[in-house]
A and B are shown apart, each in its own frame.
Chain A
Amino acid sequence: MSAPDISARATVDREHSLFLLREMLRIRRFEEKAAEMYSLQKIHGFLHLYIGEEATGVGAMQAFTQQDAIVATYREHGHALARGMSANVLMAEMYGKATGCSHGHGGSMHFFDASRRFYGGYAIVGGGLPVAVGLALANKMQKRPAITGCYFGDGAVAEGEFHESLNLAALWKLPVVFLCENNLYAMGTALERHQAQTDISRKADAYGLPSSAVDGMDVLAVEDATRKSADFVRGGNGPCLLEFRTYRFRAHSMADPDLYRTKEEIETWKKRDPIVLFEAKLREMGLLADADLARIESEIAAEIAEAVRFAEASPREPIEDLLKDVEAGPSK
């Protein structure tokens, strides 16, 4: 990639920058703890870590207000945290506890928060895109200024739902920003082994959507591009697509032995760790001191320790409530 390692914005607001760094670190440390708890068999099922991709979740989320709707994927710990969900309810969800955001019905792949318009974790690849289009349709029909941000991965662009959704959103000029987190692998199948056209941003051309490819390891570049796209969409110009070129440092899930890529490839990408890059940039600009980082790390450590304590101490959902939310209760 010929792009500079990190975007060279003339002015970088210190407070906001430290916030972005903090959010990325918060996701990183949360997931490291989740992996540890999975190894200790406190967390079960599938656990898909986002480590390496934090800049896309955190950067893009800055462009959305609390009135906007967010749709994510099964690799959505980062999106949920960046949206403002507490580490407590997420950890408890992975523990399968009643205090989890989804009462233990969803687990790692299915975080939801209706109060934050976080429409959650979809584990059928591409399955969230039509829902995002519909949320945008509702916004448009109700003449609300809100827009929808829809995250998905490179694997999803092989699904028919991706193409159907882009076409429908463009046809009806719906206010949705499609956010492709291209981490180069659909589970274990490399992009060039699943796409005839590997330039994902170009797929938007077929539907008349403006699109661009962005360095997904540069949180400021991601934020900038998403703000521009969100402004465009808020202006009633219809949808657009951003492709964030990123990489996951961990395996697809905790069950994945990671046999389909080389250690060298992973190590090469780790040199562009979005957190390391951003820390270095902030230090270079004199915006980050050791004491800042120590304070941030210590606050995050306390938050995550509390999340684990909360999850451990929380009750399980009573089995008597198993069928409670299959349908609405009579009072609703």
Chain B
Amino acid sequence: MTKLTYREAVRAAMRKALRDDPRVFLMGEDVGRYGGAFAVSLGLLAEFGPERVRDAPLSESAFVGAGIGAALGGMRPIVEIMTINFSMLAMDQILNNAATLRHMSGGQLSVPLVCRVATGGGRQMAAQHSHSLEGWYAHIPGIKVMTPATVPDAYGMVLAALREPDPVFIFEHATLYPLEGELDEGATSFDITHAAVVQSGSDVTLITYGGTLGKTMQATKRLASEGIEAEVIDLRTLRPLDTPTIVTSVAKTHRAVIIDEAWRTGSFAAEISAQIMEKAFDDLDAPVARVCSAEAPMPYAKHLEEATLPQVDQIIAAAREMVPRHG
């Protein structure tokens, strides 16, 4: 086991892929000389050269589309999009081409594209760099959506995604890059189809992913001190969603709180809530609760941004409200 950061784990996975498979290359804005806006690809240009670590112009649609074309042409591109807000500029290519080509061509075409995208708030980057729009992507049939919350997933999901015959989007919450963890760099198989029960508990299920897993874990410590045993599910992959793990947990705890940094209205949290309603309604002892971001563009000022994002106190309050008092 090696101790390293989430950032280093993503880099290690890309380095391994670049070494092992000549079809793999990295392309995006400032991934080369600059080393990546979040320093994820630092050093890769020196090791692999400009053919395989390609600095792209600020043309999200063209370089994501070029990734699609290169994938069609037999390559295994990793395309980095600097932030999820910028990915809107490539939405035509993502939705109309990447997600669609296999089905629209009657199964003839395959787009093994991996897109890595920084997501999320918490760094005072304001309303054009901070949103959590991965739920929009999870709406789209034809692509897979992964949201690594841990160091092993930051590593394993890149390698697993490169083995997929279809487009995979990996959303890396930008506050996680300095996160430290243990990694088995010798691991060769990576489960990307199951959610993880990170902590077992009997009173309430806290369902989350990506950047809010840490806050959720903090909340469980305080809840435990109050005698509330929370089970925590890290969804890991939003599409396809591992509904059975959610349903099994809710059948045990009878209560669910969904913590999602996206806006509440029309959100992925709403989707999970609906799944619980459809598949575990009789198990519920309380209405499903959601802790989401305030319905506003992300503000810059620290106190306003904190007030916008889901916080530990809100998670605790939501769980506390639905669990009957012990003793």
Q: Interface of A with B (CB < 8 Å)?
A: 69, 100-106, 110, 112-114, 119-120, 122, 124, 127, 129-139, 141-142, 160-161, 164-165, 167-168, 171-172, 324-328, 332
Contacts and interface: CB of A to CB of B under 8 A. Distances in A.
B320 to A, nearest CB: 41
23 contacts: A101-B105, A102-B104, A104-B106, A106-B106, A112-B101, A112-B108, A113-B108, A119-B109, A122-B96, A124-B97, A127-B96, A127-B97, A130-B62, A130-B93, A138-B73, A141-B25, A141-B51, A141-B70, A142-B73, A160-B61, A165-B65, A168-B59, A328-B102
Given A124-B97, A131-B65, 12 more contacts: A110-B104, A110-B105, A112-B109, A113-B108, A114-B109, A122-B97, A130-B93, A137-B66, A141-B51, A164-B61, A168-B62, A332-B165
Given A106-B105, A130-B61, A134-B67, A168 B56 contact: yes
Given A124-B96, A171-B57, A134 B103 contact: no
Interface residues of B, number: 41
B62 A127 contact: no
A164 B61 CA distance: 8
B72 interface: yes
Contacts of A131: 65-66, 68-69, 72, 93, 97
B73 to A, nearest CB: 3
A135 B113 CA distance: 13
A328 B110 contact: yes
Nearest to B71: A134
Given A102-B106, A105-B105, A134-B68, A168 B73 contact: no
A contacts with B: majority SS: mixed
B75 interface: yes
B64 interface: yes
B168 to A, nearest CB: 11
B266 interface: no
Given A138-B75, A325-B107, A168 B66 contact: yes
Interface string B232-256: 0000000000000000000000000
A113 B108 CA distance: 7
Interface of B: 25, 51, 54, 56-57, 59, 61-75, 77, 92-93, 96-97, 101-110, 141-142, 164-166
Contacts of B165: 327-328, 332
A112 B72 CA distance: 12
A165 B62 contact: yes
A167 B57 contact: yes
A135 B57 CA distance: 18
A139 B105 contact: no
Given A122-B97, A127-B97, A164-B57, A134 B66 contact: yes
Given A105-B103, A327-B102, A138 B62 contact: no
Contacts of B74: 138, 142
